[in-house]
Every structure is written in C-alpha cells, then in structure tokens.
Structure 1
Amino acid sequence: MNICIIAEGSYPYVTGGVSSWIHSLVTHFPEHEFVIYTIGAHESQRGQFKYTLPPNVVQVKETFLDGFADESKEKARPVRLTAGQKEAFRSLLTGEKNADWEPLFELLRSEQFRTPADFLMSKPFFGAVAELCAEKYSQIPFTEMVWAVRSMILPLFLSVRHDIPQADLYHSVSTGYAGVIGALAKHLYGKPFLLTEHGIYSREREEEIIKADWVKGYFKDMWIEYFYRLSGCAYDYADEVITLFNRNKEIEIELGCDPDKIRIIPNGVNDADYAEVAGPPADGGAPVRLGAIVRIVPIKDIKTMIHSFALVKQQVPEAELYIMGPADEDEEYYNECVQLIESLRVEGIVLTGGVRIKDYLGRMDLILLSSVSEGMPLAVLEAMASAKPVVSTDVGSCRELLYGRDDGIGPAGVVVPVMHYDRMADEIVTLCKNRNLREQMGRNGLERIRKHYTHKGFIESYRKLYASYEGAGQWRASASN
C-alpha cells in the first residue's frame, strides 16, 4: 500500500517529538511505500533533512508557506466567485457557521488565479473583508483588516494549490495546514484519510498567538478562531482520528470532532533499548545531575527551567543541569536563554546541543520537562524506560504518564503548573534530597512503560489500522461521508 504522510513543521527538518514518531513509523513498515508530504515555513529549509530516510520512502514532496509570497506583487486580473464560494469564504472569515470546504477548495484552487494577488486584490476579496469589518470589527481601520486577512489566507492559498501525490491512504500527523491537505486529498481522490493528533494543534497556536508580538491585540481572537476552523476541516473529513491519551480525546470532542471517529493509540518505547542506562547513576548520584531532553524553542519554555534551576542551586549547590537537544531551530530564543543564564549568574548548566541521548541518560538522576504544551512527550517516555523520575509541567499526557490511571503503580514523578518555576524548584529539591524516593519513582516509571507504553504495542496498533484500509477505495470514502 502507498501511504502519504502529511507533516507540518516537523519531519524531516526537525529532530525529536513528532519527527521521531514519523521516522519510527515509516521505518517499521517496510511492507508499505511512503510518500512524505512535508509543509515547511521557509524555502531555505528545502533539502535540509535531519534524517536518513528509509528505502521505503519513495518520495518527499516539499512545500513551503513562503514559497510564492513575492508573486503577490503581480498585477491582479478580474475574479468571479459563485454564490457558494462567496458564502464559504465569508464563513471561513466570520466563523458564524461551519465553513463549507468543498467550495473553498474549488475557490482557492481555481485556474482563474495565476498568483495569490489575483484573489487577494480582487473585488470579491475586498467585499468579504468589508462585510467582516461591518459585522464584527467596526472599530478597526479597513486597511489594517485587509492586511490581517491577507496574512491569514495567503499560507492557506499557497498550501492547497500544490499538487498532492496520489496514494492509497492519506495520513496527517496534525490538524492545521497538514490537516487541510489531508482533507483536500480525500476531496480530490476519494481515498481514506487518517488524522493523528499528538498535541492539540489549535490550542498550541492559541498559546502562541496570545503571546505573539506580531499580532495586534484586537486581531488575536480572529487568528485563534481561524486556526480552530482549520482544525474543524480535518476533523470533518477524517475517516478516523487517532489521539494519544484520554484528555486529548475529550478536548477533540469539545472542539466538535465526532466521538465515534476517535480512537486512542498511545506512543511507546522499547525498554530493552534503555537497559544499559536504566536506574540510578553508577557513581552514586554525587553531584545530583538533572537532565532535559528537549529542543531549545519557546514552546518548551527553557527559561522557566533555568529560573527553576537557579532556585535549586540555592539549596542543592552541587546540582548540575544538562539541557540535551538541538539549539539551531530558533537561534534568537537560544541566545535569550544563554543571556538569562548569564544574567542570573547560575553555574552548573550545560547546553550540550544535539547529542546521542543514551550517552548522557545513564548519568542522570532526574529528568525535567518545562513545556507549555505537549502531546505525549517522547522525552518522558524515554526517562521512564530508563527508570529515571521526572518533574514535568502539567501538559499533555504527562499527568497520565507519571501518575497512571488507577493502574496500581505508584507515581513515576511529579507534575507542576505551567510556568511555576518556584513549584518546579520545590519538587526538584525534594527529589534531590531523597535518593530512595527517586529510585522508587524510577522503578514505577519502568513498570508503567512495560505495562502500557511498549513500542511493540504502538507498532502493532498501527499495523492493524493500516491493514484495515488496504484495498479501500472510493467506496470507503463515500461510506464515511
């Protein structure tokens, strides 16, 4: 079977997290051919793969959301929209009712547009923006609204106009633009469409937009609602929605996903792969070493971790913190973290860059995660498989992973509120001073991995899922609508 994996902002340009998940998936299914349809932010990423692709990846289709932005300067041509297209575009902007994506796809892929400018400078576009101002944003200058809506629609316009490779099955690994492409593929070819949602994409975009400087305050709600509508497209078109843990399922239902479509397949790791580094350090835990398996990017909130460690050092002066992960994804944020370390004058923090994690795990006493948003973080699974306790923010599945769901196994760590570096520091200090507690939590984590989160179970669940769609064609897609 030929399967098209649709990824946004991850594989194969970024290591860890969703990228590692995709790489593991395609590597363990040599019986299937995979096409990777990858959506990147910048053309400069083209060909900059961080993974050696397995031989069953037969094509990588690279698309970029800035690829044709300069073409919008060309002179526009006259544009005509059908009544259905006008209403669909209006609903996409206003959110008064669910957007009708079939006429939207026809509109945005119309051959009457040579460039984005043909649509974004057209009378129908200005008319829709004028209606939006009149109905919902009467206090906002029209020109500002035009530019705001253009910046929203341009990436969607660019993404849906690319050719989509034909496949037997389409599998998006997030909502957002990747989810819309999966929905479009189903619309075009009538083939089944699966959606796996690791974190809740629309919630993550909401977090980013609330903090963003590039979005003016009165446009933030508009952007947030827009991303929720993109997610709704994926939920509506998907034949099945796979999520990783129960809380995600509850959120998806709150956001309008049909509960009958949703199934839970948790991620998993092979504990045998970590046997050589499992358990407390051989040197007896002096000094106490804290580790973070993490990309240095804002969503991981490394600054909270640094502030927390500064407080830990006041009570455990011999403690060391190893932040293990690539720093090249957001150089500006990395430099801000370095400056924060210097301004706090905190010693004992080692920024390792990209490393082989197992070379460090064996020396760690405790693993930290300070993210503001997660799905089911591989870093926590790896820590548990290594019998290391974890102090994590209460995001994604971390509470379920560390405390279990009435499984009779004790805690494998502690969760604390997001951005509460003082609370995180208190829990770290408690564990630093109690080796027996650290070791018991480590044993609990390993037991929970073996019982609920094995890599074999993860792969077998997807093997059965893919097998259920072998031979599926137009009839299956039609039956799901």
Structure 2
Amino acid sequence: MRIGLITEGGYPYVSGDARLWCDRLVRGLEQHEFAIYALSRSERQEDQGWVPLPPQVSRVRTAPLWTAEGDGAVYGRRARRRFDECYGELVAVLCAGGAAAASGAPEDPSASEADRFGNALYGLAELARDEGGLVGALRSESAVRALERACRARGALRTAREARVPDLLAVAAHLESALRPLSLDWYEDDGLGSVDLCHATSGGPAALPGLLARHFCGVPLLLTEYGVRLRAHYLAATDSSPAVRSLLAAFHGRLTAETYARAALITPGNGHARRWQERCGADRAKLRTVYPGMDAARFAEVGEAPECAGPDTLVWVGRVEPAKDLVSLLHAFAEVRKQEPKARLRIVGAPSDAEGAAYLGHCKALAAQLFPDEAEGPHRACDNPVSFEEIGGPEIPTLADAYASGGVAVLSSIVEGFPISLVEAMFCGRATVSTDVGAVVEAVGGTGLVVPPRNPRALAEACVALLRDPERRERLGAAARARALELFTVEQNVTAFHGIYLEIVSRTPVRRVALDQAGDPLPFAFPAEAHVPGRWTGRTARLVARGGPYRPTQAPVRATALPATEGAR
C-alpha cells in the first residue's frame, strides 16, 4: 500500500524528535511505498539536510512551520466575507464559556461546540484552497478584530473578556502559525489524495495535513503520539498571561478533540499517553498502544556480559535539565555515601540549551558543596565521588559504555513521558531505581525499584538496598533485559504498525472510481497488486508520472515559504 507519512520537526531531517523511530519504521516496512510530507521547525534543521532514504520512499515534500511569507492572495468581497464568517466562528468557540449551554439550550453543548470548531476549521481550509492561501488573511487586522469581538461577546469566558491588545496580538500570531498547514498545496489528487493511508507521527498542528486529506479526499488517518501534544502545551504555556493561556488552551484542546474524533485509529506510545488521550476525548475503542521501537543490538554486548564493571557505582544518563531533578539525586547520593562509603555517582549527559547549561553549573556547585573533603586536594578529579561526563570521552566512548560503567541505573525525574534512558539501561541488563512519573512504572514493570519523586531519602534507601545485594541486582537486571527485549524492540514496533495499516485499509471503502466510455464504473481499474514494489509494476514509470524519479544523490530542496515546494533526493 502507499503510506503518506506526515512528520513535524523530525524525519527525514538529520535532527529531530521522531527521526529514529520513523526511519526504522520505513526501513522495516519495505513492502510498502512511503511518501514523506515533512514540516520543519527551523532553518538550521533544513540546512542540516536529510538522512539517507531507502528505496521505498518515493516522494518527499517539505514545508516550514517556522516561517511563512505572504501568499499574495487578494481576496474579493465574497472571499473576505467567507473568511470573517469562518474565522469569527472559530475564535467564538475558543472564547465560549459555560453560559453558552444555558442560553442556546443544545442537548450536548460539547458536541455542538466541537461541530462548530470543525466546520470553521474546514471552512478556512476550503477558502485557502479556493483563493490560493490563507497566510495574509490570518495576519490581517480583520483577524485581530474578529478575535476581539469574540472576547467581548456576551457569554465569553472571564479570562477572554480580560484580554488586552498585546494578548489579542499574541493569540492571533499563534493561531496564524498553527494554521499554516491549511495553506499547503498537499491536498490534491497527486498529493495526499493519492495515498491509501495518512500516518501523522504527532498531534497538534502537525496532524492538520492528515485531517485535510481526510476532509478533501477521504483518506483514512492514523495518529501516533509518543508524547501527547496537548499535555506538552499545558506544561510549556506558563509564562503567558491568563487570557493568552486560556485561549490557546481552548484552541489546542479543540484541535486535539477534532483529531481524535476523525482519526481511524490512535496509537499512544504507552499507557501514560493513553490515559491522557482518553481524558482529552479519545474513544477507547480507537486506541492501540504501540511501544516505541529501540535498537537493542548496540546494547547486546553489555547486556550479555557476565560481570559488572562498577558494582558500587550509580549511573545517571540523560539530557541535563531541571525536569531531571539532579539536585534531589545529589542529595540522595549524600545519604548513600553515609551508608556505603565506596559508592560513586556518574552523571553522564549534556545540556541542550542555555537553561540546561545553567542547571549543570548549579549541580556541579552543589556536588562540590555536598562533598567538600573529597573535592579538595591534588587528586580532585579522581577523588570526588561524583563525576559529570559526556558520551564520547576516553572513559565513555559510547552510550552502552555509560551503562556498563555502573551496577545500578538511576532516574530521578519529576516530569517524564516514556523513559528512554531507563529502557536503554534495561537492555543493558542493569537493575534500576527510578521515580514514579510518566510511564516509568509501565516500562519497568516488576524489574526495578520505583520511589516517589522529589524524595531524596526514598531514592537513597532504594539505591543502598541494591548496592548491598549483588544477587538481587543480577536477578532484577536479567528480568529487565528480558522485558525490554519482549516489549521495546524495533521488530515489535514494525510488526504492530504493519498490522494496524492493514486493519485500517481493510475497512476503508474504495475512494477512486474509474468510468468507462459509457460512464459505467470499472470495479477493477485500480488493482491492489499495482502497489507491490517490483519490476513488474513499472515503478519508474509511476514515479515519473507522479513527480519525477527518486534520486538519492540529489541535494534536498528547501521550501522557504508557503505553499510548500516539493523536493526529491
């Protein structure tokens, strides 16, 4: 079958969140044909280029989410009226409060509001298709005025009524950015309309192309969320004013509900994400949990090693940032040293931004304060029981070596989605001590110790219990490796998605209808075997007809404005 893979800020770019699992999925399903529709997050990401693509990728189309030049569309009076009606309806839903149910008297206010939001969203998409774009209209003064009218309308939320001009401008700018996919030229019969299934690899604005492909062409949509975008928005939107937070939360909540309602199936990456999706309105019957697939081969040598290189060493691996709560880990290790003087702690990781760099400096200062005696003298670097290191150094050349250097892997986070570092430690056969956040309990099962977050004493007691019991460490490590190999490998991920693809397509009605000269339908005009890769299908001829041959040696074409341009590599 032909899959339209919709990505945001990841595959096929060299850097990005979902790059690895998307690449493994495409390579693992070589019997299918993939068309990649990629939304980029920054100019730097586009300049870094793409990863090498396998032969089953027949097309790559890109568009930037981080910028959009004016589309040059000139609206006539009728088009301006359509925009005012659709955009006004959309922002009115965002501003509507609980009083709407009492005054309008619908039996199901939430369903009514959802229908209003969806109708307004698709009305804007149809306007963009008819007029050649929506960017200029979303940036216009009439958009800000429509938002202001909605905020001042009777029955609007109190926080919306309190919005000031800077708040209105901030919300309008965010909506313009989030709705940029509506102006793309991806929704024709030679674009997403030609695929058998759209697979959106994240929610939020990145799922909009899949929603529009379903709306315009009837293509079924599969949504995968390894991290729930609505949850990420709630966690990130803390610095804005109450009015901005309220309106943007309403928009992302409505968009999430619309995506969940229209998707044929939804695949959360773990039970934690699944519970969030159910709270946000996802139908439980549509949910299929698919754990992320990770490469177990690079951890095989460490996982199968009979002995541990550092039985008295605790190892923490990850990206250094405040959410990882290394401060609590350092305080916990101070308690561990009182009971186990030989214990050491290796913190392996690097910050990804300025905030993380400042946090790393704070943690180093705290370590020097907690262990002043060990931090002094001519042998300070080797005497200090706490070391801060990065992968690639002489002692830790690879990620597997980081886990091999300790007997117990520790995770001290206060916020976590799916704990990738914890699963890597499990592949390495390491016993783990972790905090009860996100999907940690689901990942660990009964193969590690789990303690409450922000509790250094409990963390220290669990670490001491494993440091003093080598047999228990070995038993838990073996069980952890067996669990990881059963649930979290690339093979199980690819197999699960292959079955889901077949399930969706098998119950989707045929959309393409061919007619003969008399106008009668030809039921077998599009045989299924035409999509099976091989020399008998005339692959080269089909690729030329749909936009040119696939050339892996050609440099990527970067789209700098909406509508998007097509690039072939």
**Does 2:388 correspond to 1:350?**
yes
What is the deviation of 1:28? Answer: 0.7
**Does 2:483 correspond to 1:448?**
yes
Normalising by structure 2, we get a TM-score of 0.71
Distance 2:18 2:499 in 1: 21
What is the deviation of 1:399? Answer: 0.6
> Which residue matches 1:208?
236
Cα deviation 1:239-295 (Å, max 9, x = unaligned) = 111123344333322211122211223335565653311167845525514031x34
Task: Quickly say closer, same or farther: Cα 1:253–1:466, change in 2 above 3 A.
Answer: same
Cα deviation 1:85-110 (Å, max 9, x = unaligned) = 64244224547721532441331552
* Higher deviation after alignment, 95-104 or 392-401: 95-104
> Which residue matches 1:331?
353
**Does 2:25 correspond to 1:25?**
yes
**Does 2:502 correspond to 1:458?**
no
How many pairs were matched up? 459
**Does 2:269 correspond to 1:241?**
no
Alpha-carbon contact 1:384-1:445 (below 8 Å) kept: yes
Q: Secondary structure at the match of 2:390?
A: strand
Flag the structure with more relative contact order, 1 or 2, with Cα contacts below 8 A and sequence separation at least 6. 2
> Which residue matches 2:42?
42
What is the deviation of 1:52? Answer: 3.5
Alpha-carbon contact 2:91-2:150 (below 8 Å) kept: no
* Higher deviation after alignment, 11-20 or 443-452: 11-20
1:194 corresponds, among 212, 217, 222, to: 222
What is the deviation of 1:17? Answer: 6.2
* Higher deviation after alignment, 176-185 or 246-255: 246-255
Alpha-carbon contact 2:423-2:484 (below 8 Å) kept: yes
> Which residue matches 1:100?
117
Q: Secondary structure at the match of 2:210?
A: helix
> Which residue matches 2:199?
171
Alpha-carbon contact 1:370-1:392 (below 8 Å) kept: yes
Distance 2:246 2:160 in 1: 15
Letter in 2 for 1:199: G
What is the deviation of 1:183? Answer: 1.2
What is the deviation of 1:25? Answer: 0.9
2:292 corresponds, among 243, 267, 283, to: 267
Distance 2:475 2:485 in 1: 16
> Which residue matches 1:406?
none
What is the deviation of 1:297? Answer: 5.4
1:368 corresponds, among 367, 391, 410, to: 410
Distance 1:129 1:23 in 2: 44
Cα deviation 1:347-396 (Å, max 9, x = unaligned) = 53333157642243332322233445444333332222221122333233
Distance 2:217 2:147 in 1: 30
Cα deviation 1:436-474 (Å, max 9, x = unaligned) = 332222122123234444543332222222233457766
Q: Secondary structure at the match of 2:66?
A: coil
**Does 2:434 correspond to 1:392?**
yes
> Which residue matches 1:154?
176
> Which residue matches 1:120?
139
Normalising by structure 1, we get a TM-score of 0.82
Letter in 1 for 2:226: H
Letter in 2 for 1:4: G
Letter in 2 for 1:107: L
Structure 1: 5+ residue stretches without partners: 404-410
Identity %: 23
Distance 2:81 2:463 in 1: 62
Distance 1:290 1:77 in 2: 64
Q: Secondary structure at the match of 1:465?
A: helix
